[in-house]
Amino acid sequence: MKNEIQENIHNPEQLELLYRTDKKGFETAFFEIYPEISKHKTAEFWRLRLTPDSNLPDSAGMVRKDVLILIISCAVTGFLIKLPQIFGLDLQQYLYYEKNAGLIVLLGLTLYAFLIRGKASLRHILITFAVFALSALYINLLPSDRSSHSVTLAFLHLPLMLWCLYGLVFIDFDTNSLSRRIDFIRYNGELAIWVALMAIAGGILSGVTIGLFEAIGLKIEQFYFNYIIIIGMVSAPVAASFIIRFFPAVTGKIAPIIANIFSPVVLVTLLVYLASILLTGKDPYNDRDFLIIFNLMLLGVMAIIVFSVSEAPGNSRQCFNEAVLLALAIITLITDLVALSAILYRLGEFGFTPNRIAVMGSNLLIFGNLVLIMIDLFKVNFKRKEVKQVEVTIARYLPVYALWTVFVVFVLPWIFGLK
């Protein structure tokens, strides 16, 4: 990408094509070589385009505005998560966090996305917040019963459904643009990285803070947890979005490195784990807890595949990483087949339950997605197709997951009579 930018510095059309092909790769490469091409007016134009707030006359005001938007979004999120304490709600009896924590986090992200955009369609705003309001009303009217599996599944899937709605907001409701869907997938990988980094930093800071106050005889654990940690946890995704927006070059360097490290590590770990299952004689067909762990592992590996594909550079071939991703997809597909067979066996032996239907449906969706991803990765490795085609396949499949979450939240609980 660096060489292509330098070679086409006097060719605006080709530069625009390079940018549209791989926005993150273009930004990263551009800022690395900017000192060498800074004398060209075209380079100055691209610098201003990629960092619009950098040297503009009102940049200080724009930064203050964005920081104010960040504070407002975090304040709204923090206020909503503290409603039980404000109104003296019994958390154990009402299950406030189980019902609302994910909804509140997604609402904060959605609010931030609308505010930073400045101009947004009133129709889109009304539709979005109407869905949030109806979802909040619905989920809070469901029984506060941890023994009801169908209701618990609704609690778990509501954030996933609202994540799909947030995706629509992120892409400005442009459902026909696959490239914007791909940007949303990339953004989620970067968001996960920054939230994890903030969690580590926050954990260290919390330990030091509590230790310092304890050294002078003050016990602040309860206060710190109730008013710092909880608010910080629900505000972290909004703060991470702010970082991604203002430091794209840094994020663009970190995410591909983590993806390249994690893919081979996960592949080796998965192979060792599957071999250990055979040696220890563990049986997902008759061990329910083991089957649950098996499926959680499957979801994690699937997420790693999607993240690694989305962060693969579009400007150069990386044969080793592409081969690792193909091997990972094949092994994960085999794992999914084992999980599906175990679920079907348990359905035949013990009958239908909300959990078994939800797990079977999720596995079928992942299986279909994995087959398509594996076919594309095979073409990438052996027919020299671009890895970007895998991203397109993933982007096209997103609405299928969205429809499934709607079914689990609004239909499945009533099929089983809220049991």
pTM: 0.80
Helix axis angle, 178-215 to 388-410, nearest 10°: 70
Comparing 358 with 50, the larger pLDDT belongs to: 358
State the pLDDT confidence band at 36, using cuts at 50, 70 and 90.
low
Of 56, 52, 50, 41, nearest to 16 by C-alpha is: 50
CB-based contact 330:367 (threshold 8 Å): no
Residue-level pLDDT at 139: 94
Q: Which of 130-144, 165-179, 375-389 has the highest mean pLDDT?
A: 130-144
Question: pLDDT by residue (tens digit) across 227-275?
Answer: 899 999 999 999 999 988 877 767 767 777 787 787 888 888 888 888 8
Domain ranges of the chain: 2-50, 59-246, 257-415
Report the C-alpha gap between 33 and 258 in whole angstroms: 23
- 3 pLDDT more than 80: no
d(CA 131, CA 193) in angstroms, rounded, equals 28
Determine the residue type at 1: M
User: What's the pLDDT score for residue 116?
Assistant: 86
**Residue 8 backbone phi and psi in degrees, to 5:** -110, 25
Q: What are the tens digits of pLDDT across the range 274-317?
A: 888 788 877 777 776 777 777 777 888 888 888 788 766 655 55
Residue 57: predicted pLDDT = 44
- DSSP string covering 214-274: HHTT---HHHHIIIIIHHHHHHHHHHHHHHHHH-HHHHHHHHHHHHHHHHHHHHHHHHHHH
More confident residue, 256 or 169: 169
Report residue 114's pLDDT band, with 50, 70 and 90 as the boundaries. very high
Taking Cα atoms as reference points, which of 189, 179, 185 lies closest to residue 167? 185
